[in-house]
């Protein structure tokens, strides 16, 4: 099924185009469209260019890692956890309540943290009833703002703000 | 290079399937439907390999794609029909480019669409997928499907798959496919799916209205503020919208033109739709009801049985796979039936009213801010055309039934199992799920009797005859 082609009168064709341009502008001025275009669209592009320009000024090339670090505030901590634990580690994450007023807002969620630490596994303190099998097998504990020390089966001499420690063997405790 | 080859494979496999069902598709229809069908097939290949206990990788997928293409590609139809028709079409389009032949307003709108798509795509592809559900589910599953070469990845055994783990694998399989063929950003899947919807929406509208009207409705569809923002993200709502949009539009073409080729394509895409998210069942039910109404009229029960079986089969297949292979229960994630209280209904009503109009619900922006004209304009036009609803009965039935069932899904949702109260669910899942109605409603907005009169007036003003 095809509609027939029509021949236009050039000036009127342009007039309709001009009116259409005004209508597009009016739509753009409506709050939601303006927000989506200016803030989400152009704003995102501007942020991207500024990020690239800052890296250029420092004489470095932007890597995917840099982008993650820029967008996810807790990325360095997640990277630290990965580097400080063996691939077979099962890590206990803090409960939501221990994270108030910290920048680590999603670190209590195993589904979210797993993305960054695979093939290590993790389970949140809040998820002990949801994932009991995994909870029983925990061999590392994240230490956040004083939380986690009570889970260790030994006394840790130096207290750290953010870190990860083995639940049983204290010989390789690392801190950030 | 490998990525381009991978994308071409998706298109060729998809084309060989859709052109088997419909032998005279137009260029835009072919491009859009081929990708959506092709990427859908990749997750089917992955699942088959998974069930057979074979790890999938690029080689296996290449062989599967080439085999399907060789098996289904209709060479004689392609050369004698499709290729010649395409050549004539393109020659006709570019024979004379002047203000007498080219719709200047439509060109302006397409330039605007191009700029808007460019901005959000460049931004989206630059940044990693940091959305909560992308990290917790979609990107994570996609990466691990590709790494472990199976659907039943190790995380399922520990319950760490995330909320998207109980959804069928079309979207996550698509992400895995792009990673396997060397993509830097998984958001390419969202980009191609969205592009397919935009092109198919335009191509469908061109059957009933002029280029200006079709372009304008396409602009309103893709520029819907909240939807536009999602074009730069890796969430499953936009892919769901693409498949709901395509399957419903194909169904509308069938009802309006009684074309069986479009009917079977609609059934195929309804099946793929449920292969994206199993909670899109309201749209399957709405589609089946439309087919049933036509069946009662013309007594062609073959169509009804065929459509119901094809569109429902993936739902059954996935439910069985989840239960017996993944050993999960969708009910464990979504919960059982929830208690229905008047307070819950009041809260839901407040949000629904806000999303469809200009009112505001607690913690959420007004619907006008989130969806712009996408809901208000078609709904106003539906009221204005209420007396002539029979001309578009299929759109009315599809929209009303799917919307009522969609709301019912949230009325029955188990808040405890979701770990969120109904207000939070209305502000996140419900709000994003509303995208699926936009193609249906914008199709109506552009083709209803009042709009047709407006397009005619504009045409008679600027045309010679």
**ipTM (interface predicted TM):** 0.90
CA distance to partner chain A, nearest, from residue B142 (Å): 11
Surface of B (223-282) touching A: CB under 8 A: 223, 225-226, 228-229, 232, 257
Residues in B touching A14 (Cβ below 8 Å) = 99, 104
Q: What's the pLDDT tens digit per position in B14-66?
A: 999 999 999 888 889 999 999 999 999 999 999 999 999 999 999 999 999 99
3-state secondary structure of B271: helix
Question: What token pair was written down for A154?
Answer: 């030994």
Domain total for chain B?
Answer: 1
Taking the C-alpha atoms of residue B384 and residue B378, their distance in angstroms, rounded to an integer, is 10
DSSP run (H or E) holding B174: helix B170-180
Return the CA Rg of chain A.
Answer: 26
Determine contact: A22 vs chain B, CB below 8 A: no
Chain centre to alpha carbon of residue A137: 27
Contact A40 B461 (CB under 8 A): no
**Predicted structure pTM score:** 0.94
Cβ atoms B222, B431 nearer than 8 A: no
Cβ atoms B402, B437 nearer than 8 A: yes
A112, exposed or middle or buried, with CB in 10 Å at 0-12, 13-18, 19+? Answer: buried
Confidence at residue B452, expressed as pLDDT on a 0 to 100 scale: 96
Taking the C-alpha atoms of residue B306 and residue B301, their distance in angstroms, rounded to an integer, is 8
- The answer to whether residue B102 is domain-embedded is no
Contact B369 A35 (CB under 8 A): yes
Confidence bin at A104 (pLDDT 50/70/90): low
Closest to B160 (Cβ–Cβ): which among A16, A68, A110?
Answer: A110
- The answer to whether residue B361 is domain-embedded is yes
- The answer to whether residue B174 is domain-embedded is yes
Closest to B370 (Cβ–Cβ): which among A6, A15, A32?
Answer: A32
Q: What's the pLDDT tens digit per position in A40-97?
A: 999 999 999 999 999 999 999 999 999 999 999 889 999 999 999 999 999 999 998 8
Residues in B touching A41 (Cβ below 8 Å) = 116, 119-120, 123, 228
Strand runs (DSSP E) across chain A, as ranges?
90-93, 121-124, 140-144, 162-166, 174-175
- The answer to whether residue B109 is domain-embedded is no
Return the CA Rg of chain B.
Answer: 22
Cβ atoms A107, A142 nearer than 8 A: yes
- The answer to whether residue B435 is domain-embedded is yes
- The answer to whether residue B94 is domain-embedded is no
- The answer to whether residue B197 is domain-embedded is yes
Q: Which domain holds residue B333?
A: 2-82+114-462
- The answer to whether residue B134 is domain-embedded is yes
CA distance to partner chain B, nearest, from residue A39 (Å): 10
DSSP run (H or E) holding B245: helix B237-257
Q: What's the pLDDT tens digit per position in A132-169?
A: 999 999 999 999 888 999 999 998 877 877 899 999 86
Q: What angle do CA A64, A65, A69 make, to 5 degrees?
A: 120
Of A168, A176, A114, whose CA–CA distance to A141 is shortest?
Answer: A168
SS3 content of chain A, % helix, strand, coil (to 5): 50, 10, 35
Determine contact: A15 vs chain B, CB below 8 A: yes
């Amino acid at each position: 099924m095809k509609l027939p082609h029509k021949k236009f009168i050039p000036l009127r064709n342009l007039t309709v185009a001009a009116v259409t341009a005004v209508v597009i502008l009016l739509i753009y001025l409506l709050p939601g469209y303006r927000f989506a275009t200016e803030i989400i669209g152009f704003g995102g592009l501007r942020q991207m260019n500024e990020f690239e320009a800052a890296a250029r000024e420092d004489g470095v090339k932007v890597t995917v890692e840099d982008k993650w670090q820029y967008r996810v505030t807790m990325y360095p901590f997640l990277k630290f956890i990965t580097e400080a634990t063996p691939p077979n580690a099962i890590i206990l994450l803090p409960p939501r309540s221990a994270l108030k007023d910290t920048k680590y807002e999603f670190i209590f969620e195993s589904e979210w943290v797993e993305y960054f630490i695979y093939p290590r596994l993790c389970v949140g303190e809040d998820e002990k009833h949801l994932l009991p099998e995994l909870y029983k097998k925990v061999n590392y504990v994240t230490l956040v703002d004083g939380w986690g020390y009570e889970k260790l089966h030994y006394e840790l001499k130096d207290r750290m703000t953010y870190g990860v420690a083995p639940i049983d063997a204290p010989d390789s405790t690392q801190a950030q | 290079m490998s990525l381009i080859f991978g994308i071409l494979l998706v298109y060729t496999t998809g084309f060989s399937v859709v052109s088997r069902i419909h032998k005279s598709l137009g260029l835009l229809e072919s491009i859009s439907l081929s990708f959506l069908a092709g990427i859908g097939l990749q997750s089917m290949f992955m699942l088959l390999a998974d069930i057979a206990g074979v790890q999938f990788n690029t080689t296996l997928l290449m062989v599967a794609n080439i085999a399907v293409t060789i098996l289904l590609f209709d060479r004689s139809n392609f050369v004698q029909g499709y290729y010649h028709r395409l050549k004539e079409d393109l020659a006709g389009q570019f024979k004379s480019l002047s203000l007498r032949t080219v719709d200047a307003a439509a060109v302006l709108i397409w330039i605007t669409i191009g700029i808007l798509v460019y901005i959000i795509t460049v931004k989206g592809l630059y940044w990693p997928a940091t959305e909560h559900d992308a990290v917790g589910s979609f990107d994570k599953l996609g990466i691990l499907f590709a790494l472990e070469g199976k659907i039943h990845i190790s995380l399922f055994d520990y319950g760490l798959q995330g909320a998207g783990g109980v959804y069928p694998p079309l979207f996550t399989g698509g992400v895995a496919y792009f990673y396997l063929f060397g993509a830097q950003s998984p958001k390419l899947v969202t980009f191609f799916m969205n592009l397919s919807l935009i092109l198919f929406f335009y191509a469908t509208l061109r059957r009933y209205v002029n280029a200006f009207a079709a372009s304008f409705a396409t602009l309103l569809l893709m520029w819907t503020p909240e939807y536009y923002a999602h074009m730069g993200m890796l969430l499953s709502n936009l892919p769901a919208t693409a498949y709901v949009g395509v399957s419903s539009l194909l169904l509308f073409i069938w009802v309006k033109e009684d074309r069986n080729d479009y009917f079977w394509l609609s059934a195929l895409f309804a099946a793929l739709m449920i292969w994206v998210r199993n909670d899109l069942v309201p749209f399957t039910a709405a589609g089946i009801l439309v087919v049933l109404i036509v069946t009662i009229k013309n007594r062609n029960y073959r169509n009804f049985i065929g459509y119901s079986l094809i569109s429902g089969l993936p739902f059954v297949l996935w439910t069985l796979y989840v239960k017996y292979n993944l050993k999960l229960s969708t009910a464990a994630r979504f919960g059982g039936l929830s208690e229905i209280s008047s307070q819950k209904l009041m809260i839901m009503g407040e949000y629904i009213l806000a999303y469809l109009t200009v009112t505001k619900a607690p913690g959420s922006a007004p619907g006008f801010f989130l969806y712009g004209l996408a809901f208000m304009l078609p709904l106003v036009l539906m009221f204005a055309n209420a007396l002539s609803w029979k001309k578009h009965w299929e759109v009315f039935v599809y929209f009303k039934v799917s919307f009522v069932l969609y709301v019912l899904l949230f009325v029955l949702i188990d808040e405890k199992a979701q770990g969120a109260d109904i207000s939070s669910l209305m502000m996140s899942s419900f709000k994003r799920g509303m995208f699926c109605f936009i193609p249906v409603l914008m199709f109506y907005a552009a083709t209803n009797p009042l709009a047709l009169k407006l397009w005619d007036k504009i045409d008679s003003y600027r045309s010679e005859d």
